[in-house]
Amino acid sequence: MKIGFIGLGNMGAPMAANLVKAGHEVIGFDPVDVNIDGVSMARNALDATMNSDIVITMLPNGRILRSVVDEIIGSLKPGTGLVDCSTVDVENAQMVANKALVRELLPVDAPVSGGVTGATNGTLTFMAGGSDAAFEKARPLFEIMGQKVVHCGESGAGQVAKICNNMILGATMIATCETIALADKLGLERQKLFDVVSTSSGYSWSMNAYCPAPGIGPKSPSDNNYAPGFAAELMLKDLDLSQQAATMVKADTPMGKLATQIYREFIDSGNGLGKDFSAVLQQFESH
């Protein structure tokens, strides 16, 4: 396929590189000057997407997504796939999809899980929303860039799945961190805590696979001075999106609301900037 790829940052660049390795022609654009082996760089988003079979976007937020789509949508031929892998609010995802459908395009919202490591290794999980036809057109590319893809439903469903998943992740990481800090103060060794919790009813991904305590469990960002695998700022972004969506449908999410507040305090204090979201353990250690 001929693929236009807009947004070649930490996630987009390795995703595009994997598409090239699989034999696809990729024309890319990013406002920052980047160089990716095999990707031909265009001067602007419009040039990058001209005559594409599929356009992929990986952008910071819904406002930028709308702006890019407004710029390119008039030049895309009917039947072109429009695959957004950004994490944006549900309302903007649905607005973009509706614009695309009017132009007889095939829109898919397909946010990802797996971070930069997953993007580099081609092991991302894609949560996709869109019609069956749109999903099937994009599926071969998902299978190159990731190891799992779930068709969650109609347009917007991928974003819903992503923010719901990350609301759980944010809340469980906070629960894990406050538990470790409590055990510290009560004199229980961290390794002993891990040995019990990781094989008991307190089991969670946050403890077992991504333990926020250095030297405990499998290697994780805590073992690398909390260099981001998934940045705290991005966790706050996703939690904010979850609360926007909850407000939109009048859902009661007290744990999600509190997790959002805690991560906002962590970022606003300056302690979380540039760190992995699991570094929130330090917030509890210092209290």
Q: What is the CA radius of gyration of the chain?
A: 20
3-state secondary structure of 286: coil
CA distance 80 to 118: 26
Count Cβ atoms below 10 Å from residue 213 Cβ, excluding itself. 23
CA distance 76 to 78: 7
Residue 43 burial (C-beta neighbours within 10 Å; 0-12, 13-18, 19+): exposed
Q: Is 162 a known active-site residue?
A: yes
Q: Note the helical H segments in the chain.
A: 12-21, 45-49, 62-72, 90-102, 115-121, 132-145, 157-185, 190-197, 205-208, 232-249, 254-268, 281-285
CA distance 69 to 72: 5
Crossing angle of the two packed helices 254-268 and 157-185, in degrees rounded to 10: 70
- CA 277 from centroid of its chain's CA atoms: 13
Catalytic annotation, pick one of 137, 162, 237, 275: 162
Taking CA 17 as the corner, what is the angle to CA 83 and CA 72, rounded to the nearest 5 degrees? Answer: 35
DSSP 192-240: HHHHHHTTSTT--HHHHTT-SSTTSSS--GGGGTT--SSBHHHHHHHHH
Which residues are identified as catalytic?
A: 162
